[in-house]
Amino acid sequence: MLTVRPATPSDDPGLTRIDALTWTAEVSPAPPRPEPFLDRTAVGDVLVADDDGAVAGYVIVGAAPPAVPAHDHVRCIGGLAVHPGHTGRGVGRALVDAAVARARESGGRKVTLRVLGPNTRARELYRRCGFVEEGVLRAEFVIDGVAVDDVLMARHIAPPVG
DSSP state, residue 7 = -
pLDDT at 162: 62
Q: Is residue 10 part of a domain?
A: yes
How would residue 158 be classed by pLDDT, with cut points 50, 70 and 90? Answer: confident
pLDDT at 66: 87
| Structural domain that includes position 71 | 2-111
pTM of the model: 0.95
130 to each of 13, 68, 96, 97, 127, how far by Cα in Å? 31, 26, 10, 10, 5
Q: Is residue 134 part of a domain?
A: no
pLDDT exceeds cutoff 80 at 161? no
How would residue 127 be classed by pLDDT, with cut points 50, 70 and 90? Answer: very high
pLDDT exceeds cutoff 90 at 29? yes
Q: Is residue 127 part of a domain?
A: no
Q: Is residue 41 part of a domain?
A: yes
Q: Indicate the number of domains in the chain.
A: 1
- CATH, residue 9: 3.40.630.30
Q: Is residue 44 part of a domain?
A: yes
Q: Is residue 140 part of a domain?
A: no
pLDDT exceeds cutoff 70 at 121? yes
Reported as a single tens digit per residue, the pLDDT across 63-113 is 988 889 999 999 999 999 999 999 999 999 999 999 999 999 999 999 999
75 with 110: CB under 8 angstroms?
A: yes
pLDDT at 159: 74
- Report the C-alpha gap between 52 and 2 in whole angstroms: 7
Q: Within 10 A of 88 (CB to CB), how many other CB atoms are there?
A: 7
Q: Is residue 92 part of a domain?
A: yes
Q: Is residue 153 part of a domain?
A: no
- Average pLDDT over every residue of 24-42: 94
Reported as a single tens digit per residue, the pLDDT across 35-48 is 999 999 999 999 99
